[in-house]
Amino acid sequence: MAKRVALSACLAGRNCRYNGELKANPEVIEKLEKSGCEIVLFCPEESCFGTPREAMDLVITDEGVKALTKFSKEDRSAPIAEYAAKFFDENPEIDLFVGKARSPSCGVSTALLYDEGGNLISEREAGIMAAEAKARNIEAVDDEDLSDSVLR
Ligand code: SF4
């Protein structure tokens, strides 16, 4: 049976990135469409903060990993986590999560993590929404790692 796939909306061509630029991934869309997947789009950051918005980073703090805006250092973790929980509660039949690589919200195993001094300490983290997918045992991959075998 074809999979139901949750997909970062920017990959499908929605201009929901922080700066409004397009970042579509036509190869991923082609693969999903060829395999007959049902696609459910999501964008936690646009839903919570609109577009354009200040970019954010994952930062390790005394209170754990937080999503902080790049310059004003506003903690945006909670709204994104709430969006993610609501999305998966409302879409319990999702089989596969495909997130935009390196996004602090959607990156599955490629999100960048900084310390509070701005030093890069990891390039292998999960963004906040991807972490919620993993916590629910939903199979999850970065867009650039989507292979045909994952779609079978
Ligand atoms: S990576 Fe995620 S949060 Fe960022 S624009 Fe794409 S869907 Fe939205």
Give per-residue pLDDT as tens, 48-95: 999 999 999 999 999 999 999 999 999 999 999 999 999 999 999 999
Q: Is residue 57 part of a domain?
A: no
Instruction: Tell whether the model's pLDDT for residue 129 goes beyond 80.
Output: yes
- The preferred substitution site among 16, 102, 108 for testing ligand 1, maximizing ligand atoms within 8 Å of CB, is 16
Instruction: Tell whether the model's pLDDT for residue 1 goes beyond 80.
Output: no
Using CB distances shorter than 6 Å, the residues near ligand 1 are 8-10, 16-17, 43-46, 100, 103, 105-106
CATH of the domain at 44: 3.40.50
DSSP the chain: -PPEEEEEGGGGT---STT------HHHHHHHHHTT-EEEEE-HHHHHH-SS---EEEEEETTEEEEEETTT--B-HHHHHHHHHHHHHH-TT--EEEE-TT-TTT-SS-EEEE-TTS-EEEEEEPPHHHHHHHHTT-EEEEGGG--HHHH-
Q: Is residue 72 part of a domain?
A: no
Compute the distance from residue 36 Cα to the ligand 1 centre, in Å.
23
Compute the distance from residue 11 Cα to the ligand 1 centre, in Å.
8
Indicate if the alpha-carbon torsion angle 90, 88, 56, 31 is positive or negative: negative
Mean pLDDT of 106-133: 98
pLDDT given at position 4: 97
CA 10 remoteness from chain centre: 10
Q: Is residue 28 part of a domain?
A: yes
pLDDT given at position 98: 98
Compute the distance from residue 18 Cα to the ligand 1 centre, in Å.
8
Q: Is residue 38 part of a domain?
A: yes
Q: Is residue 103 part of a domain?
A: yes
| Residues in contact with 61: Cβ distance below 8 Å, sequence separation at least 6, in sequence order | 116
Compute the distance from residue 9 Cα to the ligand 1 centre, in Å.
6
Domain that holds residue 33: 4-51+77-108+125-146
Q: Is residue 68 part of a domain?
A: no
Tell me how many domains the chain contains. 1
Give per-residue pLDDT as tens, 20-55: 999 999 999 999 999 999 999 999 999 999 999 999
**What pTM value is reported for the model?**
0.97
State the closest ligand 1 atom to the C-alpha of 41, by its place in the atom list counted from 1. Answer: 7
